[in-house]
Structure 1
């Protein structure tokens, strides 16, 4: 990474321009269709509400296409897949303006919605790399919406031309976004799945707040436009013109308020500000003050989303940001659609002002729910071994969403039918889902042999790694050479000095050893590996139990994290700081004697699943 530091200023400027262009492209094209719906109805020869329905269906299709969009982003650079999709989506909107026939118009809008799916995630994920950029991305999206309102107003007599201009401009902006900003995706490494992102506590807690931030924008937007038409008899392009003027100060408010988005605690207050907008609009004595409600509602919703992005998405590792941005983007879109639909339903029951006032209640609830989002200041320092939402879906014993934290030099004992399965998953010997990191390294990217050869992880069990026909000393020597020991023979002699029972069997084939001797040989191999994580399966309480504790204490003293699977016997618990029973139905803590692990690091409970 340091090799690119001299070029960083140029890349940063290009990256900022690309991120803002990408963020503006989607709202520009989609907003123009939405704001021109009544005029387009006359051109396409369908009611304007049908055109609105088509535009919103395109948004729903974009949300539904998120999963394949994430899959594509894992094989291309995410910003380039989004740029490609945005360019094709903009072309689809332009085609809808060129050919007003219903089949072509509807198909082009639906295709544009599907192709625009990456725009729900990539612009916000890219903006997270720099402090303050989430607010900048939201301001760019709001600027795109403002441009859409002005295009719909200026070409209100020629809505097809408005779509052509908006679609072509959005396509150009998407192409600009394909510039060299953002790191390349690792070849063959897909981005994190949505299910993995849902395992993060703050992401789950923030989803209702994102949804109601979308509501705070959607309900006043369409409710206010409807109120301008039916309270003050503004027709044609006039309601959208008021919105176009209101969006300009809204962009300025988002830019000016970007410092307020640096902490999660500002989210509830911003949502409350958004909740005040519908009440202001419902009681406005004139269209100008109502337009001020547009400014407040949209600026508050964008600032809320930026604050949530900073608090929830920015602390995530790069591999998870794209999926998290997509998931929360879908939540915000769903909230906007729900707010729009609720406002329409209430208008059929109540007076215009009363209906708009009632739409303020959900954002008030959202302000309370946003209090559950704590942000990065509440996050604990990363554990030495961190297991997140680990599941073993196949086999005689299946595990579901186990979470585990082990510090360097700490010893943890696991018992129960799922203990050996969990150790096999940590060692890479059984297929599993979820995340496993060790000292910041992602173990899921490595197979079992790589984890051992790199000295990251070693599973010591009843069966050693040495082939049964090879003499004990020769097998240990081969293992030492594979690990890169400078003097393999000296390393083997040192290990055999630790295990006198094996020293006299140095020339015996490994296959002729007893079960207890094979266990000692497996532990001797672990000493040669000197792993950062030692997994011990079935040895601590077996026939070689007396030889095990000194070795485990020796390794733990050097900072090795030790996880033991076996019966919760007193001699085993005496080694541990914590102990758990692992079963398919859950994880239960086992009391550890007060003397056990008195000098181990303090236990820290994990979140997002059964805590180990």
Structure 2
């Protein structure tokens, strides 16, 4: 990372700062006093066993699930209403697990809907699309096809591209490698990670493909049973035995 980017990161408030989050479903606690800081321009990887609370944490951070306790600040501010529309307007985007593309719409139509819902002026929409296609150029090959006819990897590209159309300052990615071959995931995640350099975008990456995730991350958090049990640099978990101890 360049010195200029490092200086800008140091001066900027955290992209997301959560303190004391508690959340659950139907009286069952899933998150227990969780605190997290996603620094400006940082790539933070969150790993943990199935059911550890990772997806619930992302849902809370993006305003899809209301916590029972805790506070969340976005780019140094507390939003009047912590809901997806307000998060999107503030510059936060979520790529959910499972892709969530509309199968009967073409990729072009999905992009148009995303740009319209984000309030992007018609005169700017083609520029936004070309910008995203520069990051994920393979989408050009199938941009006129219906999403339901695409492979899992192609659908994942569309899901990520849809989020990038809003030019987010912070991107939350929930298990983007599910159903993808390791090489395809590598081809997908590296250009996304490069946006940290070109735009200063912060990324919170929930991922089980630790090898590729660690290769692009600055810091790792390990979650178990709704709490964090490790925080450190990816190199600290390069020993597979040490990683397995945490699971």
TM bin, normalised by shorter chain, reads 0.7 to 0.9
Aligned with 1:398 (options 7, 27, 30): 30
1:487-518 CA distance string (max 9 Å, x none): 21232233234323321211111222222211
In structure 2, the residue matched to 1:524 is: 161
Aligned with residue 71 of structure 2, among 411, 416, 435? 435
Q: 1:444 to 1:594 in 2, by over 3 A?
A: farther
Residue of structure 1 equivalent to 2:125? 488
Structure 2 CA distance for aligned equivalents of residues 516 and 455 of structure 1: 29
CA–CA distance in structure 2, aligned partners of residues 484 and 501 of structure 1: 26
Alignment match of 2:191 (pick from 538, 543, 550): 550
Following the alignment from structure 1 to structure 2, what is the Cα–Cα distance between the partners of residues 510 and 547?
Answer: 18
The structure 2 residue matched to 1:474, chosen from 97, 109, 119, is 109
Alpha-carbon deviation of 1:387?
0.3
Is the CA contact 1:411–1:556 (under 8 Å) kept in the aligned structure 2? Answer: no
- Aligned residue runs from structure 1 range 444-459, under 5 A: 445-452=81-88, 454-459=89-94
Counterpart position of 1:577: 218
The residue correspondences of 1:233-382 to structure 2 (distance < 5 A) are none
2:44 to 386, 404, 412: 412
Distance verdict in 2 for CA 1:512–1:568, change over 3 Å: closer
CA change 1:574–1:590 in 2 (3 A) is farther
- Alpha-carbon contact 2:42-2:196 (below 8 Å) kept: no
In 2 relative to 1, CA 437–403 (structure 1 residues): closer, same or farther, beyond 3 Å? same
Q: Provide the TM-score with structure 1 as the length reference.
A: 0.33
In the alignment, is the contact (CA less than 8 A) between 1:415 and 1:582 conserved in 2? yes
Distance 2:236 2:220 in 1: 14
Q: 1:501 — aligned with what?
A: 138
Q: CA deviation at 1:568?
A: 5.6
Give the aligned partner of residue 535 of structure 1.
172
Change (3 A) 1:593 1:399: closer
Aligned partners of 1:411 and 1:576 also within 8 Å: yes
Structure with greater proportional strand content: 2
Instruction: Deviation per CA, 1:210-232: give whole Å up to 9, x if none.
Output: xxxxxxxxxxxxxxxxxxxxxxx
Quote the offset at 1:390 in angstroms.
0.8
TM-score (norm 2): 0.76
Q: Quote the residue 1:426 is aligned against.
A: 61
Offset of 1:557 from its aligned partner? 4.2
SS of the aligned residue for 1:563 comes to: strand
* 8 A Cα contact 1:410 1:560, kept in partner: yes
Q: Describe the shift of the 1:525–1:397 C-alpha distance in structure 2 as closer, same or farther (beyond 3 A).
A: farther
Q: Return the alpha-carbon distance in structure 1 between the equivalents of residues 105 and 133 of structure 2.
A: 16
What residue in structure 2 maps to residue 195 of structure 1? none
Q: CA distance change for structure 1 residues 440 and 479 in 2, over 3 Å: closer, same or farther?
A: same
Task: Tell me if structure 2 keeps the 8 A contact 1:389–1:435.
Answer: yes
Q: Structure 1 553/443 Cα, relative in aligned 2: closer, same or farther at 3 Å?
A: farther
Instruction: Give the whole-Å Cα distance in 1 for the aligned partners of 2:128 and 2:191.
Output: 18
Q: 1:558 to 1:504 in 2, by over 3 A?
A: same
Which one has a larger percent helix, Structure 1 or Structure 2?
Answer: 1
Give ranges in structure 1 of 5+ residues lacking alignment: 1-380, 597-612
In angstroms, what is the RMSD of aligned CA positions? 2.7
Contact 2:91–2:169 (CA under 8 A) maintained in structure 1: yes
Please name the residue that 1:14 is paired with.
none
Structure with the larger RCO, 1 or 2 (CA within 8 Å, 6+ apart): 2
Q: Structure 1 pair 444/564, CA: closer, same or farther in 2 (3 Å)?
A: farther
Alignment-derived partner of residue 5 in structure 2: none
**Secondary structure of 1:529's partner?**
coil
1:460 matches 2:95:
yes
CA apart distance, 1:463: 4.0
